[in-house]
Amino acid sequence: MIQVGIIGGAGYTAGELIRLLIHHTKVKINFVYSTSNAGNKISEVHQDLIGTIDMLFTSTINTDVDLVFLCLGHGNSKAFLTENKFSAKTKIIDLSSDFRLKSNKNFQEKDFVYGLPELQKETIKGANYIANPGCFATAIQLALLPLANANLIKEDVHINAVTGATGAGTSLSKTTHFTWRDNNFSYYKPFTHQHLGEINQSVKQLQSDFDGEINFIPNRGNFSRGIFATLYTKYEASLNKAISLYKEYYKKAAFTFVSEYDLHLKQVINTNKCFIHLHKHNNKLLITSCIDNLLKGASGQAIENMNLMFGFEETEGLQLKANFF
């Protein structure tokens, strides 16, 4: 049984972490840190946990836990680790973007490993510090990795993907109010989304000669959770060859599956799964990828990484049924 702590406990990703960790047979939650809610019941903020957890948020940390999850806003993890020193035995999984790029992975003599299991599972197993991937980045990379691994991305990639309102976090802004989001749809950060850096990094890790553009248009949807991504690029071989390529690449993946059917979001919501579907049109390959942004795109993948780091079964605590109906 390992002892874990959560930093930044009031947000959506922390709420999902708590929900999952409560039922993980190898883990005990030692503390949940939140300066804005210190002394309050966790179930007052994460109200789905009423009757399940009696812990309080705290403004103090135990620096000697086995693992700490950092669920802080982007740019805040470095500041927190600068001010708070954990023991040498404490492993860290950071859910922000602070350490995802190779140029930022070394911090305070800590070497953060990019935590996409389908890309580098064996490296994750030996890591002490993990940079958990972004949500859009997870869905898009899982759609592209088999092609890159086979050196088959020959031209530009075009991506259109939509995320639910939880992707924006709990803080209110103009575009997260119900009256704005309801019955609405819009794009944002076209061609410049912050996840493009890690997407390009992973593609080039597998296909070093890739020099095309990854054109990404992210969208806001009028639903709560999930990411639905469609990608296309030039592909000359047959659809059957593409399907075989993807199934071979993911044959040992615990949570990524190639489906012969058209996809929809309810297949993956409330799970740590990624579903992928392939369609060929003339010389273009259309790849559809969908995930739950809070689970495979954040907290579920963080637990998957924890399982790998500590030698647990990769699926431990993550056998979840989709909210299909």
Reading the chain (325 residues) residue by residue, the pLDDT tens digits are 999 999 999 888 999 999 999 999 999 999 999 988 898 999 999 999 999 999 999 999 999 999 999 999 888 999 999 999 999 999 999 999 999 999 999 999 999 999 999 999 999 999 999 999 999 999 999 999 999 999 999 999 999 999 987 765 555 566 666 766 777 889 888 999 889 999 999 999 999 999 999 999 999 998 889 999 999 999 999 999 999 999 999 999 999 999 999 999 999 999 999 999 999 999 999 999 999 999 999 999 999 999 999 999 999 999 999 987 7
**What is the homologous superfamily of the domain 135-291 according to CATH?**
Dihydrodipicolinate Reductase; domain 2 (3.30.360.10)
Domains 2-132+298-309 and 135-291 share a fold: no
148: nearest Cα among 276, 249, 274, 253:
249
Identify the pLDDT of residue 227. Answer: 97
Domain definitions of the chain by residue range: 2-132+298-309, 135-291
Residues 6+ positions from 288 with CB-CB distance below 8 Å: 143, 228, 229, 230, 231, 262, 263, 276, 277, 278, 279
Question: In CATH terms, is domain 2-132+298-309 a member of 3.40.50.720?
Answer: yes
Catalytic residue check, 135: yes
